[in-house]
Amino acid sequence: MKATIYGTLICPDCVELKEWLGAHPEKIGWTWVDITESTQNLKDFLAVRDKSHVFDDVRAAGNIGIPCFVMENGQVVLDAEQACTMLDTAQGE
């Protein structure tokens, strides 16, 4: 299984995650999308954020909701540890 990860390098949690992913390339399949790199990247993230109920509490709290993992099967996960475990487990199958 692979994931698209939405984040930005101005977010400390995203920076930490990206560094971990870079140090463990064998762990999971992933594509990084920096939402501050282009308007299109931001639009793509907002399309996910606006359609997923996973973000209800995030939006209500006035937060952004990154890093955000969108799994190959369309599942959206905001917890990095949970997402990495899911991806690592899927690769072992």
CATH number at residue 9: 3.40.30.10
Residue range 44-58, pLDDT digits in tens: 999 999 999 999 999
Q: What is the pLDDT of residue 1?
A: 75
- Show the domain range for 66: 2-92
What pTM did the predictor assign?
Answer: 0.89
CA–CA separation, 15 vs 57, rounded Å?
A: 23
- Total number of domains in the chain: 1
Could you list the pLDDT tens digit for every one of the 93 residues in the chain?
789 999 999 999 999 999 988 887 666 678 999 999 999 999 999 999 999 999 999 999 999 999 999 999 999 999 988 988 887 765 554
Cα angle for residues 89, 92, 93 (degrees, 5° grid) = 95
Cβ atoms < 10 Å from Cβ of 32: 18
Q: Is 6 helix (H, G, I), strand (E, B) or coil?
A: strand
Which amino acid belongs to residue 66? I
CA–CA separation, 31 vs 35, rounded Å?
A: 13
